[in-house]
Amino acid sequence: MIGKQRWAIPEGYIPAGSTGPAPEMTSHETICILNASERDADVEITLYFSDRDPVGPYRLTVRAERTEHVQFNDLDDPEEVPRGTGFASVIESDVPIVCQHTRLDSRQAENALLSTMAYAGDS
């Protein structure tokens, strides 16, 4: 078993909508979550903004010994993630997980433009 139950990613951004196909439609802001434990992980994501209250939790399950690549632009409950504005995220799980922040660019066959391990809290 490896990981922590609380993670934070201060940087997040989904470009605003566009009539053109590129590059706005091809960028994917992603949290890659690994649950290497033997129990399913109930995960809650809370989003933070500069000018309004946090939104969430967004709930999802990462099954035991599985990984999920969660795209922010797929999240829609309790509401869609706003486009064209910066946000931060906190990820909480009831079992240890590992979180990595990656921005993919599908123009390059899923090559990524950036990636960093999320920040792991102490608890």
Interacting residue ranges for a copy of itself, rule: CB under 8 A: 2-3, 6-11, 13, 15-16, 18, 23-24, 27, 30, 32-34, 36, 46, 48-51, 53-54, 65-69, 86-88, 90, 98-103, 105, 108-121
Q: Based on CB atoms, which residue is closest to a copy of itself, 59 or 117?
A: 117
Query: CB neighbours of 120 closer than 8 A, spacing ≥ 6?
Result: 3, 4, 6, 7, 99
Q: Based on CB atoms, which residue is closest to a copy of itself, 76 or 110?
A: 110
The region, left, alpha or beta by phi > 0 then psi within -120 to 50, assigned to residue 73 is alpha
